[in-house]
Structure 1
Amino acid sequence: MSEWVIAAPSLFAGVFSFDVFSEEPEAIATTVQLMLLLTVLSLAPGILILMTCFTRIVIVLSFVRQGLATQTTPPNQVLIGLALFMTFFIMAPVFSEVYSEAYTPLANGEIEAQEAFESAIVPIKTFMAQHTREKDLALFMGYAGHEKPESLEEVPLSTLVPAFAISELKTAFQIGFLIFVPFLVIDMIVASVLMSMGMMMLPPVMIALPFKVLLFVLVDGWYLVVQSLLISYS
């Protein structure tokens, strides 16, 4: 038993050992690419939420559900899935540029990893800058002590990302307010009618729900909401 305990570590070390500091260029390149892939995958949720249009879309869709007062219909899985695929649809030109300008040259060995990162971040920064308010960007630039940038290349990613995030939040809430207005009018009308009839114990939300769903279906609400989101990024 004691001999097996002593030999076990060396046995498993021999099975699972690999040479990280290989002198072969191909092995080193593969290891670096694998590390970069794992890093990107670990940061993917944050990149998806804060550096794409996902935030605005999912918040607007949530406002639609709250305005309808349908509670869990559509369910969260449907809303997030729709927001995810709309994000891929809107960001497709940006992702294509990143793939052609950064990943393909890196995979072919034409550029280094640092150059690939710098090339990949340009289209993403351009997209974020187009939908970021100057006021929000000036807030983070001033807090970080940076001077007013002359070009987009001078804007640090650490200030552009939060500025883009709060700009997206404001735009999403503005769209959500416009969505809430017609539903609020229906709620007020139903509540007034019920009070005039003396039915104060009857919940107005329950009576207004079918009217709101009917109105939303008649005006083709999902089409209008998605169309508004697509136009906001055109």
Structure 2
Amino acid sequence: MRLFREKLFLWLGEEKEKTTNLGKAIGVLIAFSVGLAVISTEPIARGVYGSLLTKLDIAVAVLFFTEYILRLWVAPLRRNTRGGGRGALNYALTPLAILDLLAIAPTILGFVTPELYLLRIIRLARISRIGRSKRFRKSIKHFNHAITSKKEELQISAVYTGIVIFVSSILMYIAEGPVQQEQFGSIPRCLWWSIVTVTTVGYGDVYPVTFFGRLIAALTAICGVAVIAIPIGIISAGFTESLGSERS
């Protein structure tokens, strides 16, 4: 029994840098559970597949509850942890274990409602265990290097973005303010339009109607392409340099 307990401890990946196959399977189950929670908030889906969704949620909750119990069982084998019941209690009081319990408690207790379904989304926090993976940590290191090594270039890009947003807001206030008081009657109001245009989101809730207003909008949209492209290029160059320095 002790040998099986030690093997289970390794399978669960409690103290291994590399994600185990069981850990990957649990990650897939977490993603499925979150998708199930999202679909269950749709009234049409609940009306047609309500019974199936409930059964699937119960099955997923049982699997997670089983995993929770198994983690409690092997918890005393962790480093710097007391043996026996105290080790299991110490694990049960950790943030991840509490999140696990919160996510499955409504189903286990029989309270399955659309609102409580959303509690399943907190299972995403458990994906933080992937952070123990060596590959994941290496990618974070390269990302940090790309940001820190190109800090000055990114600051210049941020200044450019601020200038484009501010100048376009002023020009739009001058061109559209007299015509559309509600939408462009002040520079702060124009800032909303400028931000969504520069970031290429373009909600369409506020738009110019005069010739000069549309001309300014077109120029702002063109400048907005550079606002997105410049920092992406800078960060990509930083990634390439970081990877190149590691391989050399």
User: Is the structural similarity TM-score above 0.5?
Assistant: no
- TM-score under structure 2 length normalisation: 0.27
Between the two structures, name the one with larger relative contact order (CA 8 Å, sep ≥ 6). 1
